[in-house]
């Protein structure tokens, strides 16, 4: 006699449904914990870099990269007058900056691509030489990035981020080399960017232009560090630049500072977030309980 297939009872089905619900809930909760951890890492990295720049400015009197007497503190190149401090140099020694209060993105002391300090690259190198951030950095362009020139590469000439292996930090002062003179001039900007790939324009890979955060992540970081508004306060998404490029067109609902919101319906990397600070009048007072090791970037 063939036994009947009795199937599952209602109790058994209920138990299975509960187990599935617990598994799904656990996975979702785990994903949220990972997201929260990534956001906290970014916040910590931004704060550590900000503190490092403050400490450098207080100790040496100039912004990193811009310091005009850097070679009084650290080894200089052998060629006189910094004439070998071009962007593609492979030397490890540092160079003097202009001392004009700007971390120049492109041109430096000599104002040409062949003879310039490229202060934004030197900034990370000098922060490292001063013992204020972890890692060693070349102080020059990366030679093997897709963008070809003006390039950054995490762990080579730029601090990396725990967010992803492609993410790293770029620093320069707006208004230098005609960058963002329209609305951010005089502020020093610390960008978190995708430096190994670029979804907006593949030719920009390796430059500071490329989004690396989802709108939700950017919003939550902005809320914790600032005001949650993408174009106001000290934490911002990149709007259209002075040259007319829109580097993160899908991050926000519009580009009007008073009404813009992060476009959180999108789950892809759309936002190019930066920390906007003025170090002109900030004084960090030394204390016996504070040392440079408190602000090292891991």
Distance between CA atoms of 70 and 67, rounded to whole angstroms? Answer: 6
With respect to residue 25, please indicate whether it lies within any of the assigned structural domains.
no
Is 117 part of a structural domain of the chain?
A: yes
Identify which has the larger pLDDT, 74 or 2.
74
- Using a CB cutoff of 8 Å and minimum separation of 24, what contacts does 229-233 make? 229/257, 229/260, 229/261, 230/260, 230/261, 230/262, 230/271, 231/255, 231/256, 231/257, 231/260, 232/257, 232/258, 233/276
**Could you tell me which of 73, 74, 109, 78 has the C-alpha nearest to residue 91?**
78
Is 27 a member of any domain? no
Alpha-carbon distance of 157 to 149, in angstroms, equals: 13
Partner residues linked to 240 by β-bridges: none
Tens of pLDDT, residues 152-166: 888 888 999 999 888
Is pLDDT at 287 greater than 70 in this prediction? no
Residue-range definition of the domain harbouring residue 165 = 37-295
Alpha-carbon Rg for the chain, nearest whole angstrom, is 23
Domain membership of residue 105 (yes or no) is: yes
Q: Six-digit token pair at 190?
A: 């610390």
pLDDT band at 130 (very low <50, low <70, confident <90, very high): very high
In a domain, 6, yes or no: no
- pTM of this structure: 0.78
14 burial (CB, 10 Å; 0-12 / 13-18 / 19+) is exposed
Q: Is residue 33 within a helix (H) or strand (E), and if so which, with residue range?
A: helix 10-60
Mean of the per-residue pLDDT values for the chain?
77
pLDDT higher than 70, residue 106: no
Q: Which residues pair with 276 in a beta bridge?
A: 189
**CB of 56 within 8 A of CB of 73?**
no
Residue 254 belongs to some domain of the structure: yes
pLDDT given at position 209: 72
Overall average pLDDT of the 169-192 stretch:
72
- Written as one string, the DSSP assignment of 161-200 is ETTEEEEEEEEEETTGGGSSTTT-TT-EEEEEEESS--SS
Q: Is 54's pLDDT higher than 80?
A: yes
Q: Does the pLDDT at position 137 exceed 80?
A: yes
* Domain assignment of residue 242, yes or no: yes
Q: Is residue 29 classed exposed, middle or buried when 0-12, 13-18 and 19+ CB atoms within 10 A define those classes?
A: exposed
| Cα separation of the two ends of the chain | 71
287-294 contact pairs (CB < 8 A, 24+) = 292/55, 292/130, 292/131, 292/132, 293/131, 294/51
pLDDT digits (tens, 9 = 90+) for 184-233: 677 888 999 887 767 666 656 556 678 899 999 999 999 999 999 999 99
In a domain, 70, yes or no: yes
Question: Which range among 69-83, 105-119, 124-138, 206-220 shows the weakest confidence by mean pLDDT?
Answer: 105-119
Task: Answer with the residue of higher pLDDT: 146 or 266.
Answer: 266
> What's the pLDDT score for residue 288?
34
Q: Give the three-class secondary structure for 273.
A: strand
pLDDT score at 280: 59
Counted domains in the chain: 1
């Amino acid at each position: 006699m063939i036994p009947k297939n009795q199937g599952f009872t209602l109790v058994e089905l209920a138990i299975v449904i509960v187990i599935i619900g617990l598994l799904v809930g656990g996975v979702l909760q785990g994903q949220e914990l990972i997201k929260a951890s990534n956001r906290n890492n970014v916040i910590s990295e931004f704060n550590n870099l900000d503190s490092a720049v403050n400490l450098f400015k207080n100790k040496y009197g100039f912004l990193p990269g811009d310091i005009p007497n850097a070679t009084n503190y650290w080894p200089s190149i052998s060629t006189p007058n910094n004439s070998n401090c071009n962007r593609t140099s492979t030397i490890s020694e540092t160079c003097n900056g202009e001392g004009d209060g700007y971390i120049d993105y492109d041109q430096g002391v000599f104002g040409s691509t062949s003879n310039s300090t490229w202060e934004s690259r030197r900034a990370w190198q000098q922060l490292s030489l001063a013992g204020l951030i972890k890692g060693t950095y070349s102080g020059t362009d990366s030679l093997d990035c897709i963008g070809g020139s003006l390039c950054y590469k995490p762990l080579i000439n730029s601090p990396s981020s725990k967010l992803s292996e492609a993410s790293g930090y770029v620093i320069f002062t707006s208004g230098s080399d005609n960058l963002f003179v329209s609305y951010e001039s005089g502020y020093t900007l610390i960008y978190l960017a995708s430096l190994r790939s670029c979804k907006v324009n593949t030719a920009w890979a390796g430059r500071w232009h490329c989004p690396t955060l989802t709108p939700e992540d950017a919003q939550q970081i902005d809320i914790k560090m600032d005001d949650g508004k993408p174009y106001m306060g000290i934490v911002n998404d990149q709007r259209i630049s002075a040259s007319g490029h829109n580097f993160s067109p899908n991050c926000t609902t519009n580009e009007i500072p008073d009404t813009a919101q992060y476009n959180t319906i999108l789950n892809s990397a759309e936002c190019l977030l930066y920390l906007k600070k003025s170090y002109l009048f900030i004084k960090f007072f030394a204390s016996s309980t504070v040392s440079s090791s408190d602000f090292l970037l891991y």
